[in-house]
């Protein structure tokens, strides 16, 4: 049985802009770079989010014919005690943050979009606990709610 997400890969149009967002805005460290013959001329930057590595790839055919595609979003776990500091830091850098509460009062989420419009969610919910309940917008005019 799977125990978690080991790796997530996102296709990006501008590798430098994506790297700046994930390192400077989200604060994730770069752990690896791909370029040149060794990587079959695939260009990528890998960052680490907790125990999950996130690949930022320029468009290319991946292993087993993997291709980039449109997705809704992905969520990263954040401790409830750290949530406010995460949101404040990202907002302080001028990034739009949409906040949602699940429950009432069961969990909070902050959604931000990267330069390629991939939506990153920071969520306080322990997904092993079942459903947190229906979402309710905390920020004004959260799209989709």
Q: Which residues pair with 107 in a beta bridge?
A: 102
- Residue 127 pLDDT class (50, 70, 90 cuts): confident
pLDDT in tens, 55-75: 998 887 666 666 677 666 889
Domains of the chain plus CATH, in order, are 7-59 (3.10.180.10), 73-137 (3.10.180.10)
Residues 6+ apart with CB under 8 A from 91: 97
99 pLDDT band, cuts 50/70/90, is very high
What pLDDT, on the 0 to 100 scale, is given for residue 60? 75
Q: How far apart are CA 9 and CA 131, in angstroms?
A: 26
Cβ–Cβ under 8 Å, residues 136 and 118: no
Identify the pLDDT of residue 2: 59
Please indicate whether residue 69 or residue 14 has the higher confidence score (pLDDT): 14
Asked whether 76 and 50 are in contact (CB, 8 A), the reply is: yes
Give the span between the Cα atoms of 112 and 99, in whole angstroms: 9
């Amino acid at each position: 049985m799977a125990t978690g997400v080991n790796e997530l890969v996102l296709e990006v149009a501008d590798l430098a802009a994506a790297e700046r967002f994930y390192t400077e805005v989200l604060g994730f460290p770069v752990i690896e770079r791909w370029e040149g013959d060794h990587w079959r001329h695939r260009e990528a930057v890998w960052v680490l989010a907790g125990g999950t590595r996130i690949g930022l790839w320029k468009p290319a055919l991946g292993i087993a014919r993997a291709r980039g595609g449109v997705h809704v979003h992905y969520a990263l776990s954040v401790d409830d005690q750290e949530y406010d500091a995460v949101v404040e830091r990202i907002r302080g850098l001028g990034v739009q943050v949409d906040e949602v509460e699940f429950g009432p009062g069961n969990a909070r989420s902050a959604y931000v979009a990267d330069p390629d419009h991939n939506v990153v969610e920071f969520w306080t919910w322990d997904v092993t606990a079942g459903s947190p309940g229906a979402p309710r917008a905390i920020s004004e005019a959260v799209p989709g709610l």
